Structure 1
């Protein structure tokens, strides 16, 4: 299935700014509200369903024999037609 990027933003931020942005997303999810992403003149509003699939991934990219780039990715995913439902795996974040 081809992928269409609806919005993308990448910038260096301090940890407090990132935490604040994640809290805003969490507050919107908790309230059942839409999530609006805006950067400059680009904007998209998405309405996650009550039970989207939540994917968490930790990765290291780079050469096998040297230091690389580490990342933590958080993704909410759902089917546009049915609202989504996912595996009930027991994820914990500390």
Structure 2
């Protein structure tokens, strides 16, 4: 299935700024409000359904340089509300 990127941004930030951005998303999710992502001239507003799929992935990329570690948080849903869940996640 082809993928269409609707919005993308990547830049180096300090941990406090990243935490504030994640808190803003969490507050919108908690309140059931749309989430608007903006960077420069680009902007998109997403109405996230009540029960989307939540994926957390930690990765190590190896290659010719130093290893690169990452953690990805992904919220995913169909254009038609739906989805399921197969366990609970905690972040400590």
Q: Is the shorter-chain TM-score for this pair beyond 0.5, marking a shared fold?
A: yes
Distance 1:84 1:68 in 2: 37
Residue of structure 2 in register with 1:47 after alignment: 47
| Cα-to-partner distance string for 1:14-60 (whole Å, 9 max, x where unaligned) | 00000000000000000000000000000000010000000000000
Runs of 4+ in 1 over 3 A off after TM superposition: none
Q: How many residues align?
A: 92
Counterpart position of 1:84: 82
Residues 77, 84 of structure 1: 8 Å contact kept = no
Partner Cα distance (1:69, 1:16) in 2: 21
Distance 2:40 2:66 in 1: 34
- 1:66: how far off? 7.3
